[in-house]
Structure 1
Amino acid sequence: MKKLLALLKKAGFDGFLLMIGTMILLAYFLPQPGLIKEPVSLEEIAGVGVSLIFFFYGLRLSVEKLKAGLANWKMHIIVQLTTFLFFPLIVLASRPLFISIDFELLWLGVFFLAALPSTVSSSVVMVSIAKGNIPAAIFNASISSLIGVVVTPLWVGLFIASATGDFDVSDIVIKLVFQVLLPVIIGISLNSCFGAIAERYKKQLKYFDQAIILMIIYTSFCKSFYEHLFEGFSTLELVGLAAGMMVLFFVVFLCVGLLSRLFGFSDEDRITVLFCGSKKSLVHGTVMSKVLFQHSTITGIVLLPLMLYHALQLIAASIIAQAIARRKEA
């Protein structure tokens, strides 16, 4: 048990997830600070924070390393197709199960989760534990984040209008360019000058990322609780949603495993495909929701499936990675 807890902590299942729960409770009992607009709102501060997150992400991306990682192209294609095509198609097929208006919003949250890029840190940690191809894992997680900047809004934009009745394509594109794309491009262009400094302070940058994420979660749930959007869901239904997220993880995990065997990948590459192809990024999901659902009261509901999936994927992936490592040692 102690080993599992240490493993979960290493993968990111630590006090940060506890803080996420605390922010949701705080939003329920004390929503007013998250709703205040004057003199400055927490929502505006979080918006600036989103741009800084993507700037620092670009600052730590080395173009040379990305070029070097292109060698194993078959594996990269499988991981990215799984992340941005297979995942969304599975959730699209499940849409008839979400029949009511309230559940339509939950489905939008699940689809938003499905369209997100893979997570960097925990994917690399799991691949490392299971003794997979670590350089390939780093490359795939990094390139996935870049692709997600464009692909995630395109996927989600197809359904925002029907679920919320409010989707201005031009407005979303402008936000993406100035809040996400431009900061990433500026960061990458400055990598050669300041990349080493950003790498040196990556721990501090991680804390900054987490602070902005917690702020976004708090303000999002403040709106949702204020509008009483969760009153239509019972505890049993939310437990069912969590179970559905677990099923989604294992369906993708098993299908990716079969694909990697069909393509004859080595054991190390197969491990990389398994963990990079089945993970979804809480960081990118939270900050992208700030762009795609800005000023919307439904953001709390949309983020709920992602937060459940994030916690459950860490538990499941940690157990599986540990089991693979024991098997290889044996």
Structure 2
Amino acid sequence: MPVPSFLKDPLIQGILAATVLALLLPAHGTFAAVFGVATKLAIALLFFLYGARLSTQEALHGLTHWKLHLVILAFTFVAYPLIGLALRPSTLVISEPIYQGILYAMLVPSTVQSSVALTGIARGNVSGAVVAASLSSLIGVIATPVLVMLLMGAGEGINVDGGVFANIALQLVLPFALGQFAHNFLPRVREIAGAKATKLVDRGSIWMVVYAAFSQGMVSGVWDEVRAWEIVALAVFSFLLVYAMLWLTRVTANALRFSYADRVTIQMCGTQKSLAAGLPMASVIFGGASLGILIVPLMIYHLVQLMICSAVAARYAREAEATS
């Protein structure tokens, strides 16, 4: 039996390997803390490399491309929540906690690291992806708790820490700005931050995020609370939803006459949901003791979106190389 083509991609293989490793040997204790710091450093390095590769003109264009950002934000905070509400009748089949978990997954912001990494792999508008994904995270600090309060009835006890803004500035914006400085004043660093170095770091950072997130789920015993058929159902649902959103984002981008690079960016950023942001937000909004099943749909969707979007991004890259 032939191996599916997307499973031959090193990025997908790494994602699956990181997942299996987390299920068998999850990070915990001191190692988990150290690995978490290493993951943040890897993401910071990725944004430094993108800053060092991009010209200042390209970066400013990404910042001022408001039409691109509005479309991505509309998918993240309007289209997905509407899908979550439309799935309300599914409680006739699935349990209420599973549905609440699905709804919560629809309310979290887009990923930052993997959106940018996948956009880069697919030869999209990286500067636009950096700004769009960062905006999604910043807006999500307020929008996600508000949407939870309105749609899930969990208004009490919501306490969003303003330190999230500082974390985003330190981990994403500052490294990117330093990369821009290096691009303009340190030619040697600009040369080192080439396509090979960036490709290695963006793939490695994705694998690290997957391992850290699934390790956290294993250590907290989340998977013991879900039945096998529910996991299968969530996986099938996630596959269908990701493909549907990839189609919708592509059709919308074409209808609005975006360039190829922007269409790729809208697809890679507009179809993602952040596990890295969703887990800590859930612990703040709902309280760590009551998470359980609530975060399982987001964990499964996060893995599926990475697998599918990685395969799509790799295909776009191959097509771009073939035509160049």
TM over 0.5: yes
Aligned ranges for residues 1-330 of structure 1 at < 5 Å?
A: 4=6, 7-9=9-11, 13=15, 15-22=17-24, 69-99=62-92, 103-161=95-153, 167-169=156-158, 172-173=159-160, 176-177=161-162, 180-181=164-165, 183-184=167-168, 213=213, 216-221=216-221, 225=224, 229-230=225-226, 233=227, 235-297=228-290, 299-328=291-320, 329-330=322-323
* Equivalent in the alignment of 2:197: none
Q: For structure 1, list consecutive stretches of 5 or more residues without a partner in the other structure.
A: 28-33, 35-41, 197-202
Q: What secondary structure is seen at the aligned counterpart in 1 of 2:92?
A: coil
* Kept in 1: contact 2:23–2:215 (CA 8 A): no
RMSD: 4.2
Deviations 1:47-79 (A, max 9, x none): xx89x979x97xx799x9986633211111101
- Pair 194,323 (structure 1): closer, same or farther in 2 beyond 3 Å: closer
- Decide whether the 8 Å contact of 1:216 with 1:286 is kept in 2: no
Conservation of the 8 A alpha-carbon contact between 1:109 and 1:302 = yes
* Distance apart, 1:283 and its partner CA: 1.1
| Cα pair distance change 1:18/1:254, threshold 3 Å | same
- Cα gap change, 1:273 to 1:286, in 2 (>3 Å): same
Bigger Cα displacement from structure 2, 88-97 vs 318-327: 318-327
Structure 2: segments with no counterpart, 5+ residues: 182-200
Amino acid at match of 2:245: V
CA–CA distance in structure 1, aligned partners of residues 132 and 73 of structure 2: 8
> How many angstroms apart in 2 are the aligned matches of 1:193 and 1:261?
32
The 1:237/1:146 distance shift into structure 2, 3 A limit, reads: same
Partners in 2 of 1:281 and 1:12 — Cα distance? 19
Contact 2:61/2:128 (CA < 8 Å) preserved in 1? no
| Conservation of the 8 A alpha-carbon contact between 1:281 and 1:310 | yes
Report the Cα distance in structure 2 between the residues aligned to 1:318 and 1:325, rounded to whole angstroms.
10
Give the superposition deviation at 1:177: 3.6
Give the aligned residue type for 1:278. Answer: T
Normalising by structure 2, we get a TM-score of 0.70
Given residue 146 of structure 1, which amino acid in structure 2 is its aligned partner?
Answer: L
Aligned amino acid, residue 289 of structure 1 = A
User: How far does residue 20 in structure 1 lie from its aligned partner after superposition?
Assistant: 3.6
Which amino acid counterpart does residue 141 of structure 1 have in structure 2? Answer: A
| 1:167 positional shift | 3.5
Q: Would you say the 8 A contact 1:12–1:122 is kept in 2?
A: no
What's the CA shift string for 1:104-154, capped at 9, x where partnerless? 211121122111222223222322232221211222122222121111111
Contact 1:8 1:315 in 2 (8 A): no
Change (3 A) 1:188 1:126: closer
SS of the residue corresponding to residue 296 of structure 1 reads: helix
- 1:200 maps to none
TM-score, length-scaled by structure 1: 0.69
Quick one: structure 1 residues 106 and 10, their matched pair in 2 at CA, closer, same or farther if it must change by over 3 Å? closer
CA 1:238/1:148 → structure 2, altered by over 3 Å: closer, same or farther? same
Distance 2:267 2:153 in 1: 34
**Deviates most, 119-128 or 76-85:** 119-128
The alpha-carbon deviation at position 271 of structure 1 amounts to: 0.9
| Aligned equivalent of 2:184 | none
Percent identical pairs in the alignment equals 30
Aligned residues: 289
